[in-house]
Structure 1
Amino acid sequence: MATRRTIRTWVVIDAVLVAVFLVLLVVTLVSGDDEPADPGAGPPSGSPTAVATRAGDATEFALPSGNIACTMAASGVTCTIASITYDPPAVAGCTGDTGHVLVLNDDGFAFDCVNGAAPSVAGDDVPVLEYGSSATAGGYTCTSATDGVTCTDDAGVGFKLARASWEELP
């Protein structure tokens, strides 16, 4: 028959094992999902550098929410947004959808006409540009923030894009 001391020892060991399991579970859950459910909920990153990939002369990234993804090159910037709540602007001659693809290049800023389905949320294979960080290609710079992405050329021409609104800059 087990003594009281033996039983207490096993209870303490069980409690320690449960505590270790809970700590490991919390660490796994926190490190497994770096994106806040609400794009405005996460703190901005203190790092001013980009986490993006370069394919040839192109840089690709998504904001932590995954709703906005951009491709940058020396020739310009193209950003897609999967979910919008603003009224999309009309694009002359467009018989498809507008509001989900924005382009900034030597011709300036414009919404692109999309024939087919709207872009989807960026996949896990797209590198994340953390909030507060910037990426640059050629004369173009995009900055990720909890309230969307801002992309401009060297002259300050560009756009600010978020789920609820867009703005032409300057």
Structure 2
Amino acid sequence: MVNGGPRERGMGRGMLAFVVADVVLVLALLVLVGVWVAGSSTSSTPDDGPGTAATVASSPSTSTGTAGTAPTTFRMPSGNIACTVSVDGVTCTIASIRFEAPVAAGCTGQTGHVFVLSTDGVTVPCVDGAPPAVAGDDVATLEYGSSMTVGGYTCTSATDGVTCTGADGVGFRLASGAWSQLP
């Protein structure tokens, strides 16, 4: 069968709903952690930029941690890319892309706006709905040239995008004009 029976189509919709729910939860987590990080950094650093990167780089949740380490959220200086790094992996969202998004078999939504790195490698899930918005100033900024490590995962901010890898070197490089899987 080319299109599959009603039961097979229903399972696909269920999986799609699960992925969409996960993306919404991750984005909500990004906002909550960003508010928490911004709130903890405003008492000791100015809001003019460089202090924010120092707060992100020195906060307890950005160091190598154990399973109890809280996820840490950051945005690139442009706000176009935002990532959450935890001991379980990395999830990055990108609001505006100028590259051809990867194709996901059976996807009726969009790909290319969410990238996930975990022990299973890199995945680019199919997501229904509008692309993510540009991250606001309430999310801590990881300044260009800075890195953040949580558990075995490290993300490095650069003018040409963000690079996130696991301890094994597997990961991805993401920018508005291109993405690539590493190594």
Common fold by TM > 0.5: yes
Q: Who is 1:125 aligned against?
A: 138
- Give the conservation status (yes or no) of the 8 Å contact 1:60–1:127: yes
The alpha-carbon deviation at position 76 of structure 1 amounts to 0.5
TM-score with structure 2 length normalisation?
0.64
Q: Distance in 1 between matches of 2:129 and 2:60?
A: 27
Q: Who is 2:80 aligned against?
A: 67
Q: Distance in 1 between matches of 2:73 and 2:119?
A: 19
SS in 2 for 1:104: strand
Question: Which of 80, 90, 100 is the matching residue for 2:93?
Answer: 80
Q: Which residues of structure 1 form unaligned runs of 5+? A: 1-30, 36-45
1:145 paired to 2:145:
no
Q: Who is 2:28 aligned against?
A: none
Identity fraction in percent: 60
1:50 paired to 2:57:
yes
Q: Deviations over 1:102-149 (max 9, x none)?
A: 000011001111111100100111000000000111110000000000
Q: Which residues of structure 2 form unaligned runs of 5+? A: 1-45, 63-68
Structure having the larger proportion of residues in helix: 2
Counterpart residue type for residue 93 of structure 1: G
Aligned length: 129
Question: Which of 98, 106, 113 is the matching residue for 2:119?
Answer: 106
Counterpart residue type for residue 84 of structure 2: T
The alpha-carbon deviation at position 91 of structure 1 amounts to 1.3
Of the structure 1 ranges 77-86 and 90-99, higher mean CA displacement relative to structure 2 is found in 90-99
TM-score with structure 1 length normalisation?
0.69
The alpha-carbon distance between structure 1 residues 52 and 88, as it changes in their structure 2 partners (threshold 3 A), is: farther
The alpha-carbon deviation at position 54 of structure 1 amounts to 4.5
Question: Which of 152, 155, 158 is the matching residue for 2:168?
Answer: 155
The alpha-carbon distance between structure 1 residues 133 and 94, as it changes in their structure 2 partners (threshold 3 A), is: same
Q: Who is 1:115 aligned against?
A: 128
* Runs of 4+ residues over 4 Å off in structure 1: 31-35, 51-56
Asked which structure has the greater CA Rg, the reply is: 1
Counterpart residue type for residue 162 of structure 2: V
The alpha-carbon deviation at position 97 of structure 1 amounts to 0.4
